[in-house]
Chain A
Amino acid sequence: MLSPPFITASHTNLFTQPLNKNNNHSPLTTKTHQKLKPPIISSSSIKSQRQTHPILTAPSLPLTTSSITVKLNRLTSEFNTLTEPIERVKRLLHYASLLPPFEDSDRVPENRISGCSTQVWVVSAMDNDGKLWFRADSDSEISKGFCWCLVWALNGACPVEVLHVTERDLGHVDILGLGLKAQSRINTWHNLLLGMQKAAKDLLIRRELEEKAFYSSMVVDDDDDHSGGVFANGKLSGIGVSLVYMH
């Protein structure tokens, strides 16, 4: 039985709601939510794929009106209206409170974002439509606020969109009014983006490896009994269902 790590459609609406103080929804806590699992492909195969991948190695494409850009712009406007530092902090802490519970079992070194002065963990998954969904958590309330904002901005986007978010796009969103443009060890905002982009790359490569494996398994040998093809690879996640329909 396949257990795809995807978010149901009823949840996705929560991620496109406008930012306002009364948005108390915790997007991933309803009972139909499936547990997100981190990718399982080995890092060595992913690394070699990453080096030759056409999308990943292509020069960066300009983002025009991607959903991410829209959301980042909304965050920018929202925080720009808050001129007092205390108001910014309060808003950030409010968003921190919206962050859904994070599994203790996901608080492992493999999921930890490097380079932050606080501890930040991210897990990610790709749904049937190839869209990315993230979960993040931190031991710091302020970092949690950053996590919520970036997860909200990137959730539901496709990998290419996520991968083309630049530090410049992020740099406009100066949430704490620190003017932190340069990369710095303490810059959770930037390090979180980098971590999520790395996860996006890994998921993209994983999906393509699985597609390749699926199609190879469909090549019928004279000795095959024809029934192993589609269902041979039980690990295909999110892809197996649509291919069954095609078959």
Chain B
Amino acid sequence: MEVLLLKVPSFKFSSPISCCSISTRSSSYVKFGFRRFSSLSVSASSTVNEAVTEPSLASPSLGHTTRPHFPILHQEVNGKKLVYLDNAATSQKPTIVLETLQSYYKAYNSNVHRGIHFLSAKATDEYESARRKVATFINAFDSREIVFTRNATEAINLVAYSWGLSNLKRGDEIILTVAEHHSAIVPWQLLAQKVGAVLKFVNLNQDEVPDIDKLQELLSRKTKLVVVHHVSNVLASILPIRDIASWAHDVGAKVLVDACQSVPHMPVDVQSLNVDFLVASSHKMCGPTGIGFLYGKIDLLSSMPPFLGGGEMISDVFYDHSTYAEPPSRFEAGTPAIGEAIGLGAAIDYLSGIGMQTIHDYEVYLGRYLYERLLSVPNIRIYGPAPSEKTERVALCSFNVENIQATDLATLLDQLHGVAIRSGHHCAQPLHRFLGVNASARASLYFYNTKEDVDNFIQALNDTINFFK
């Protein structure tokens, strides 16, 4: 694997194919189109399917070169160096995002869209620039297809209430998998109760991934919507979204993809995948909390009634009725999280500067290392598919160790070793019930983690297991 070297503190790098500069204020960036990033090395860039090899000793890993950009990682907890392995819950923020947020509030905070003074114009400009950055990042056709929301959960609820209420009726079916996050299940339960729709769940197959063959069988003319994750936050598996979208469209159904665990970690191209709706959260991709987005095809969004009512989303307001703005404004009621959206834009600039393919390649390598080291722990059960030529896993592992409760493991890892993992059901209770467990522990990586982080985690885990013996 070729590693992109970042020069600290400057983020500029050049290559024959693409270049990107990141600044705290300007919105300059280069449109990348479909992902083809190159690295600084003279060799050709790697692709997803190439075997990943450990970087040569001469070149520091992506984790080592990016760690200095994340001040929060350089601290001690409970007297030990922090080892942060809870990235599927939330990611850490690089200095540039922190500076962008501060710069916004310090220099040009102002309400967007309606003001005519200098500060308002600048804030509006940066806010809409952030929207264009999101659109480019996922290769949306038009930036009007990006609706800013509070997070992915709100984005899914938006689709449920706006598209769902006006398009679904009694007897219509919504297909989901048992591995969906609660935010991709509960809004549809609420909708189904209102309109009389039916939810159908696809189980896991023997490889512990959602049974795609079963999903295909469940599709029928009654199916109006398929809701699936791109990457599972527990199983670490990746679904073939392009195929699923194609099958769904064949029966006249729409597809909503929960991309919370994919957009931060790999190139995602909504046009190539041909999905109807896609959601993601900023805080999982080096951006601030409080902002996320819904991608929706412009024809769909244009046909959808409003979700929340208020300022910004209207055209004209009378006593007894109002007319509404075009998308995306139609779905952005009230003053948005302006600084946070601009912060997300800065995060996207930062990630694009590294290159999503580079990030993905590094995480495939580190994720495989994590998996293999975990496998060596006695009496461990790792959930999800085993990685192979055919089956890719992302860089997270949910697991249980026999006779030790997951929360006890996580508590001791934190208290005695400064290692931060997560325990519980990871907002996937149906999945845990299906797997026959009450809870699991989960270690999840991001590009600023290193091989040493994994080694420290495994050592701490072994120590913790011995403590309970």
Among A47-55, A134-142, A154-162, A198-206, which stretch is in contact with chain B?
A134-142
Which of chain A's residues have a CB closer than 8 A to the CB of B79? Answer: 85
Whether the pair A117, B408 counts as a contact (CB closer than 8 A) is no
Whether the pair B407, A118 counts as a contact (CB closer than 8 A) is yes
Whether the pair B416, A119 counts as a contact (CB closer than 8 A) is no
* C-alpha gap A119/B425 in the complex (Å): 12
Which of chain B's residues have a CB closer than 8 A to the CB of A143? Answer: 405, 407
What does the 1/0 interface line of B389-420 toward A look like (CB < 8 Å)? 00000000000000001011001100110000
Whether the pair A117, B416 counts as a contact (CB closer than 8 A) is no
Give the contact-size bracket for chain A. 10 to 19
User: Is B323's beta carbon under 8 Å from chain A?
Assistant: no
Whether the pair A186, B415 counts as a contact (CB closer than 8 A) is no
User: Is A86's beta carbon under 8 Å from chain B?
Assistant: yes
* C-alpha gap A206/B199 in the complex (Å): 42
- Chain A min CB distance to B432 (Å): 12
- Chain A min CB distance to B409 (Å): 10
User: Is A176's beta carbon under 8 Å from chain B?
Assistant: yes
- Chain A min CB distance to B435 (Å): 15
Whether the pair B438, A119 counts as a contact (CB closer than 8 A) is yes
Which of chain B's residues have a CB closer than 8 A to the CB of A218? Answer: none
User: Is A89's beta carbon under 8 Å from chain B?
Assistant: yes
User: Is B196's beta carbon under 8 Å from chain A?
Assistant: no
User: Is B423's beta carbon under 8 Å from chain A?
Assistant: yes
Whether the pair B407, A89 counts as a contact (CB closer than 8 A) is no
Which chain B residues in 420-439 approach chain A with CB under 8 Å? Answer: 423-424, 438-439
Which of chain B's residues have a CB closer than 8 A to the CB of A140? Answer: 405, 407-408
Whether the pair A186, B412 counts as a contact (CB closer than 8 A) is no
Using CB atoms, name the residue of chain B closest to A185. B424
Using CB atoms, name the residue of chain B closest to A88. B415
- Chain A min CB distance to B424 (Å): 5
Whether the pair B416, A142 counts as a contact (CB closer than 8 A) is no
User: Is B78's beta carbon under 8 Å from chain A?
Assistant: yes
Which of chain A's residues have a CB closer than 8 A to the CB of B408? Answer: 118, 140-142
Which of chain A's residues have a CB closer than 8 A to the CB of B405? Answer: 118, 139-143
Question: Which of B407, B424, B439 has the most chain A CB atoms closer than 10 A to its own CB?
Answer: B407
* C-alpha gap A118/B409 in the complex (Å): 12
Given contacts A118-B405, A140-B405, A140-B408, contact A85 B424 (CB under 8 A): no
User: Is B468's beta carbon under 8 Å from chain A?
Assistant: yes
Whether the pair B407, A117 counts as a contact (CB closer than 8 A) is yes
Which chain B residues in 433-447 approach chain A with CB under 8 Å? Answer: 438-439
* C-alpha gap A140/B439 in the complex (Å): 11
Whether the pair A176, B438 counts as a contact (CB closer than 8 A) is no
Given contacts A140-B405, A141-B405, A143-B407, contact A85 B438 (CB under 8 A): no
* C-alpha gap A140/B78 in the complex (Å): 21
Which of chain A's residues have a CB closer than 8 A to the CB of B439? Answer: 117-118
Which chain A residues in 164-192 approach chain B with CB under 8 Å? Answer: 176-177, 186
* C-alpha gap A143/B412 in the complex (Å): 13
Give the contact-size bracket for chain B. 10 to 19
* C-alpha gap A176/B407 in the complex (Å): 14
* C-alpha gap A117/B406 in the complex (Å): 10
Using CB atoms, name the residue of chain A closest to B438. A119
Whether the pair B438, A142 counts as a contact (CB closer than 8 A) is no
Which chain A residues in 61-111 approach chain B with CB under 8 Å? Answer: 85-86, 88-89
* C-alpha gap A103/B416 in the complex (Å): 33
* C-alpha gap A186/B415 in the complex (Å): 15
Question: Which of A85, A88, A177 has the most chain B CB atoms closer than 10 A to its own CB?
Answer: A85
* C-alpha gap A119/B439 in the complex (Å): 9
Whether the pair A85, B468 counts as a contact (CB closer than 8 A) is no
* C-alpha gap A142/B438 in the complex (Å): 16
* C-alpha gap A141/B405 in the complex (Å): 8
- Chain A min CB distance to B244 (Å): 33
What does the 1/0 interface line of B342-359 toward A look like (CB < 8 Å)? 000000000000000000
Which of chain B's residues have a CB closer than 8 A to the CB of A177? Answer: 415
- Chain B min CB distance to A97 (Å): 12
Using CB atoms, name the residue of chain A closest to B423. A117
Whether the pair A117, B412 counts as a contact (CB closer than 8 A) is no
* C-alpha gap A216/B415 in the complex (Å): 57
Which chain A residues in 12-28 approach chain B with CB under 8 Å? Answer: none
Question: Contacting B416 at CB < 8 Å: which of A85, A118, A141?
Answer: A85
- Chain A min CB distance to B11 (Å): 37
Which of chain A's residues have a CB closer than 8 A to the CB of B423? Answer: 117
Using CB atoms, name the residue of chain B closest to A116. B407
- Chain A min CB distance to B416 (Å): 6
- Chain B min CB distance to A72 (Å): 22
* C-alpha gap A187/B424 in the complex (Å): 13
* C-alpha gap A186/B405 in the complex (Å): 14
Given contacts A89-B415, A176-B415, contact A141 B468 (CB under 8 A): yes
Whether the pair B411, A86 counts as a contact (CB closer than 8 A) is no
Given contacts A117-B439, A139-B438, contact A85 B415 (CB under 8 A): yes
* C-alpha gap A210/B104 in the complex (Å): 66
What does the 1/0 interface line of B333-349 toward A look like (CB < 8 Å)? 00000000000000000
* C-alpha gap A28/B241 in the complex (Å): 57
Whether the pair A89, B412 counts as a contact (CB closer than 8 A) is yes
* C-alpha gap A88/B408 in the complex (Å): 13
Using CB atoms, name the residue of chain B closest to A90. B467
Which of chain A's residues have a CB closer than 8 A to the CB of B416? Answer: 85-86, 89
* C-alpha gap A143/B468 in the complex (Å): 14
* C-alpha gap A176/B423 in the complex (Å): 17
Question: Which of B411, B415, B416 has the most chain A CB atoms closer than 10 A to its own CB?
Answer: B411
* C-alpha gap A85/B417 in the complex (Å): 10
* C-alpha gap A48/B416 in the complex (Å): 47
Which chain A residues in 111-125 approach chain B with CB under 8 Å? Answer: 117-119
- Chain B min CB distance to A136 (Å): 15
Which of chain B's residues have a CB closer than 8 A to the CB of A119? Answer: 438
| 28 A-B residue pairs with CB within 8 Å | A85-B78, A85-B79, A85-B416, A86-B415, A86-B416, A88-B415, A89-B411, A89-B412, A117-B407, A117-B423, A117-B424, A118-B405, A118-B407, A118-B408, A118-B439, A119-B438, A140-B405, A140-B408, A141-B405, A141-B408, A142-B408, A142-B411, A143-B405, A143-B407, A176-B411, A177-B415, A186-B407, A186-B424
Q: Which 7 A-B pairs have the closest CB atoms?
A: A140-B405, A85-B415, A117-B424, A118-B407, A140-B408, A142-B408, A140-B407
If A119-B438, A186-B407 are given as contacts, then 4 extra A-B residue pairs at C-beta distance below 8 Å, sorted by A number, are A85-B79, A118-B405, A140-B405, A141-B468
